[in-house]
Structure 1
Amino acid sequence: MSSIIIKHFFHPDSSTISYLIYDLISLKAAIIDSALDYESNSGNITFDFANSQIEFIKQHKLTLTWILETHAHADHLSAAYYLKSQLGGKIAIGKYITQAQQTFKDIFALNDAEISVSGKEFDQLLSHDDTLFIGDTAIKVIETPGHTRDSVTYLIEDNAFIGDTLFMPDSGSARCDFPGGAASELYQSIKQLYELPDNTKLWMCHDYQPNGRELQFQTTVAESKQSNIHITDDVTLDSFVTVRQTRDNKLAVPRLLYPALQVNIKGGELPQASDHQPVFFKIPVHILKAEDQND
């Protein structure tokens, strides 16, 4: 019988589901994809969501061993750095975060003091088939690029925490139009997940509750292969790429894209203030020509 417990936490503002996984025997724990509370209109950052996870950990006398990111998110600010400052633990992410760091260092005109391109802001960079542990329970790392180049899945027993690789069957799959994304790679990553045993549970990082339905965040490999609206088991590569690219061309820029990336490529660390001045995010400005606006 498994000694692993999975506790979900839903962050309504970003439709993010973060997971606290812990071992009843060792009381070791891992958190996957936690979030800060950021109000873009005011610039206020608070920690209510992360504090609810911290409170649960303290109440159950757990030790936080790992703070895991499935990728550098573009829709919420990671609470990884804050969690580590409060509870300890190591922050880990896929090794291709270094490519994201280089890309967004250039986009945001960040200097060497603001961001590395080596991934040193994280405690561990992960490769395919790496294994971490919470107590005696293994966490297998599966590289699942496509949504972003650095995307990884964490497989714990028969539970796969898949980030934005897939959504619930009625929502389909994640966009691939961010730098480093590729619909063809996402197809191969999903097919890799579909090779897991049919009873493997797939835990979502987001649920946007289409048509106002109740929150759902867990399906199985079998259910997704049978009924995912973008990619059932018999969908071809060309068909999926066409569907994905057509949809991506119509999607709006995520509301928190720019602040989220500036924080998340640094493991959740906020920009540094100097001389007691306020902290600022950089927002690129795109000046459109008249002919561009008419397209």
Structure 2
Amino acid sequence: MKIHERPDAVVASLYDEKTGSFQYVVSDPATRAAAVIDPVLDFDEKAAATATANADRLLDYIAGERLDVAWVLDTHPHADHFSAAPYLADKLGARTAIGEKVVEVQQLWKDIYGLEDFPADGRQWDRLFADGDGFQIGRLPVRVMFSPGHTLASITYAAGSSAFVHDTLMMPDAGSSRADFPGGDAHQLYHSIRGLLALPPDTALFVGHDYGKDGREPACVATVAEHRASNIHVRDGLDEAHYVATREKRDATLPLPMLMLYALQVNIRGGRLPEPDAAGRVYFRIPANRFEPPAGVA
């Protein structure tokens, strides 16, 4: 767990090496009110078994700091890890939330998985946020920004002098995240990123993934000014056409995330496993031949 002191908040980041994911606890030091953002539920794909090691580390930090967590928040339905939101919400007595466009992601993946009876209406969360919605974490104001492109439901939580952008941006030396998942769009992603880069220059942008490019240590935060100066995909002076061409060329070479076909059927359920059958057995449903490998991969 690493601690990032901001002028108006304390941000604790926890890195999951397996999925390259950052999870956050953001708190108001004046009131000890807090929210958890994008927590990871561990999954062993070989055994198809879940575990709560990441989430329990977050709980240990929350208990140690005597934080009062009101919200467990996801930025979008993740394709590379399961959300631990329902587990943490139950332990903490907190509410869960995500962006309102999640219902469109649910409808899309309901069809891909053939889930005829699945309720694709967002009822799996306590609140669905719209663009521009606001709430408080103690004295810390939070504004929701609709940030589509990586997925059609992605949102950013702009919390005072920090913003939690997850897959909309990577660290400046890595650029941005892919836009080729069902519902993704590189043009939308470019405009979402420009919206983030219009925030005040000293705003700290906390990303959702990093893989330690060129052997450096994984990192999770850079300022708007740093991105505008040096982000390899969207620094000032690179236009939309350049970005889209770069993004789409890169995406054509990428394999699907290792856990995607498992993760989406969990995350469209708000982080819950599929319903058990009459005997209490739980099964994943994997669509065969729905997706193709990247160009040049047999």
User: What interval of TM-score do these two structures reach, taking the shorter chain for normalisation?
Assistant: over 0.9
Q: 1:283 maps to which residue?
A: 286
Q: 1:57 aligns with which of 38, 57, 62?
A: 62
SS in 2 for 1:207: coil
| 1:25 Cα deviation after fit | 2.6
Asked if the contact 2:202/2:223 (under 8 Å) is kept, the reply is yes
**Residue 154 (str. 1) matches residue 157 (str. 2):** yes
Q: Distance in 2 between matches of 1:282 and 1:240?
A: 35
| 1:104 Cα deviation after fit | 0.4
Q: 1:9 maps to which residue?
A: 14
**Residue 21 (str. 1) matches residue 26 (str. 2):** yes
270-279 or 197-206, which moves further after superposition?
270-279
Q: Unmatched 5+ residue regions in structure 2?
A: 1-5
Asked if the contact 1:176/1:186 (under 8 Å) is kept, the reply is yes
SS in 2 for 1:162: strand
Q: 1:95 aligns with which of 70, 89, 100?
A: 100
1:90–1:293 Cα change, 3 Å: same
Q: 2:210 aligns with which of 202, 207, 211?
A: 207
Runs of 4+ in 1 over 3 A off after TM superposition: 292-295
Asked if the contact 2:78/2:267 (under 8 Å) is kept, the reply is yes
Asked if the contact 1:158/1:201 (under 8 Å) is kept, the reply is yes
Asked if the contact 1:177/1:248 (under 8 Å) is kept, the reply is yes
Q: Distance in 1 between matches of 2:207 and 2:296?
A: 36
**Residue 174 (str. 1) matches residue 177 (str. 2):** yes
Q: 2:233 maps to which residue?
A: 230
Q: Distance in 2 between matches of 1:31 and 1:294?
A: 38
Q: Distance in 2 between matches of 1:126 and 1:49?
A: 25
Q: 1:40 aligns with which of 45, 52, 59?
A: 45
| 1:287 Cα deviation after fit | 8.2
**Residue 272 (str. 1) matches residue 269 (str. 2):** no
Asked if the contact 1:194/1:233 (under 8 Å) is kept, the reply is no
Residues 141-189 of structure 1 show CA distances to partners (whole Å, capped at 9, x for unaligned) of 0111110111111111110110100100111111001111110000101
SS in 1 for 2:82: coil
Q: Distance in 2 between matches of 1:175 and 1:215?
A: 19
Q: Unmatched 5+ residue regions in structure 1?
A: none
**Residue 219 (str. 1) matches residue 222 (str. 2):** yes
**Counterpart amino acid of residue 146 in structure 2:** E
Q: Distance in 2 between matches of 1:271 and 1:24?
A: 38
Asked if the contact 1:94/1:125 (under 8 Å) is kept, the reply is yes
1:294–1:34 Cα change, 3 Å: closer
**Counterpart amino acid of residue 197 in structure 2:** Y
Q: Distance in 2 between matches of 1:270 and 1:293?
A: 34
1:294–1:165 Cα change, 3 Å: closer
1:294–1:180 Cα change, 3 Å: closer
Q: Distance in 2 between matches of 1:293 and 1:202?
A: 35
**Counterpart amino acid of residue 100 in structure 1:** V
**Counterpart amino acid of residue 94 in structure 1:** G
**Counterpart amino acid of residue 67 in structure 1:** V
1:230–1:55 Cα change, 3 Å: same
Residues 228-284 of structure 1 show CA distances to partners (whole Å, capped at 9, x for unaligned) of 111111111111111111111111011000111011111111112123432111111
1:283–1:27 Cα change, 3 Å: same
Relative to the length of structure 2, the TM-score reads 0.93
Relative to the length of structure 1, the TM-score reads 0.94
CA RMSD of aligned residues (A): 1.9
